[in-house]
A and B are shown apart, each in its own frame.
Chain A
Amino acid sequence: MSEGARRRGPLLRLQHIGLSFRAIKALTDIGFEVRPHEVCALIGPNGAGKSSLLNVVSGVYRPQVGEITFDGEPQAYMTPRGAAKRGIARTFQNIAIFKGMSVLENVIAGGNLSFGSTWLEQALRVGRASAAESAARERAERVLEFLRIQRYRHSPVGTLSYGLQKRVELGRALAAEPKLLLLDEPMAGMNAEEKREMGEFILDVNRALGTTIVLIEHDMRVVMDISDHVVVLDYGRIVGDGTPDEVRSNPDVVRAYLGTKRAVA
């Protein structure tokens, strides 16, 4: 059994997180836990603060109030690089891949924290430079194979379709072999076929690699299908927290989405 499964505490715990931008309160008193190896879906109407929450966890935003406890270590806020070093990786809503580089370069870049040589060694092609490059390349190739995008390895990402770009971004996040993977609307803009594929990849990552996943998703069918745990946000507050079934029949959740007393089908 892996070390993570033996751990009893949550992988991620948020307590009383509050985030404001000048006069706008994006998040108020956010608190929930994510257990190791679970797939947790973050849902809610547009503007509810879901992306802001991911930004807080990945260090892009600093909350004014509250505490983030990751892997047993509490802190008031994360920094982007700090989060990466702790084992948190993510994708973005608007695909933040490096348009000027190839697929392979993007994915290799994702694994930069474990690159094994200094820039001077690389510049002069001495020492560990060559071995480090080959090792990084091998790691990246495994990710490419997993996501079935090997044939695009040398293509500039700007020339690829939207769906493939999203897969490259996922690959870049996976290259870091993260403990926690944050996915911001990984299936946005995809057709049914692409969604199915992406859903399979996400489940694969969770089951084969044991990665804990938090994803923002709008498609309720996907949410119900693949998640173990659902957290519902509305106007920056949590209005639901539990298993998919519990959340589905929670009247507050229904009201947030539909504004009526009808249950979600």
Chain B
Amino acid sequence: MLYSEAGQFSSSYASDARLFRLRQEAVEVIVVVAVAFGVVPFVGDDYWFTAILVPFLILSLAGIGLNLLMGYAGQLSVGTAAFMATGAYTAYNVQVRLPGVPLLVSFALGGLAAAVLGAIAGVPSGRIKGFYLVVCTLALQFFVEWVFTRFRFFSKDNASGLVSVPPLVVLGHDFTTPRGRYLLTLVVVSVLTWVAMNIAKSELGRRFMAVRDMDTAAAVIGIPVLRTKLLAFAISSFYCGVAGALWGFVYLGTFDPRAWDLSRSFQVLFIVILGGMGSIFGNFLGAAFMLLLPILMSHVASSLLAGMVDQGSLENYKKIVFGVLIIFFLIKEPLGLAKIWRSLRERASVWPLRHW
């Protein structure tokens, strides 16, 4: 009753195509965004900004990138970290070698470099499907890791590819403080999320899904399948590249190729699976889950089971818990947290009744 959908109709095609068809959804999003921009910067503490909110936003962005590729376009990839690394190192090189280039432009260039790499990685997808594509992206993952480690050029001749980023200055303002980092990340992620939502609801999104569901039928109705797949790879990689640049610049500050190893790719993959494939909102849920669960476990281990569990064992237990959760979600709710959220919302719309 509180959450009734009744009475909300569209009277034009344009209004039916708006981003949020339900007034409630639009209101919720506006509230969240308002709080994120207008309230959190003033009440948050440094720990929350740097250790929780910033990585949460960046991982969500990476999740959106991978989700566009896997959830919407149906192409498997375990090479996400390679695209993130490309974004990070490109942005770094632009910043230190081309003075005067604005920071955000460097991020965008990082994204573009990753997009180009993504398009190349997508070429095999014309002939190769399913698991075989996993191997291609795996090849890319290892290859890129090797390139950034082996070739000192990318890290300005620093041993083992370690780099430290210059201070974060945008339009003359310094964003290096925890609050600054949060705001910078929030702006970039918000804008790119809006774009992703547009894509998902647009003709391009339809083409992605058509290719995902049945690419032969998609070709027969005129969709350029290979071009669509390449575009999916490119756009997805752009997102991962920007996320990588953010991760390296805003979150880490100092990084080497090991920040972008296979386990990072799996981390983003899990975010997408847990959050829900084919959902933009789900990535935020997935990222929150991935980030907060280990913290929760650490707290539980240190407070409730004080001293019984040491750090090393805790890592193993986290692994086990994640593995179990992945399988649990795949069995019980393959559409992820996003679906669970939607089910709750549907319950709310008929509350206090239980069924229609």
Contact = CB atoms under 8 A, between A and B. Distances in A.
Asked if A and B touch directly (CB within 8 angstroms), the answer is: yes
A119 B203 contact: yes
B217 A123 contact: no
Contacts, number: 108
B206 A109 contact: yes
Contacts of A141: 13
Given A98-B214, A130-B17, A134-B14, A117 B222 contact: no
B217 A92 contact: yes
Interface of B is mostly: helix
Interface string B17-48: 10000000000000000000000000000000
A129 interface: yes
Contacts of A176: 221-222
A85 B222 contact: yes
A109 B216 contact: no
Contact of A109 (B210, B225, B278): B210
Given A122-B204, A129-B202, A109 B221 contact: yes
B13 A109 contact: no
A115 B203 contact: yes
Interface residues of A, number: 43
A173 B261 CA distance: 46
Given A60-B220, A81-B222, A84-B222, A119 B204 contact: yes
Nearest to A101: B209
Question: Looking at A83, A89, A98, A136, which has the most chain B CB atoms within 10 Å of its CB?
Answer: A98
A84 B209 contact: no
B19 to A, nearest CB: 9
B16 interface: yes
A102 B206 CA distance: 10
B221 A89 contact: yes
A155 interface: no
Given A113-B222, A124-B195, A130-B17, A96 B209 contact: no
B97 to A, nearest CB: 28
Interface string A83-100: 111000110100011111
Interface of A: 58-60, 79-81, 83-85, 89-90, 92, 96-101, 105, 108-110, 112-113, 115, 117, 119, 122-125, 129-130, 132-134, 136-138, 141, 172-173, 176
26 contacts: A80-B219, A81-B223, A84-B220, A84-B222, A90-B220, A98-B210, A99-B214, A100-B209, A101-B213, A109-B206, A109-B218, A109-B221, A110-B221, A112-B207, A119-B199, A122-B198, A122-B204, A123-B198, A124-B198, A125-B198, A130-B17, A132-B203, A134-B12, A141-B13, A173-B221, A176-B222
Given A84-B220, A112-B207, 11 more contacts: A58-B220, A96-B216, A97-B214, A98-B210, A98-B214, A98-B218, A100-B209, A109-B221, A112-B222, A133-B14, A134-B17
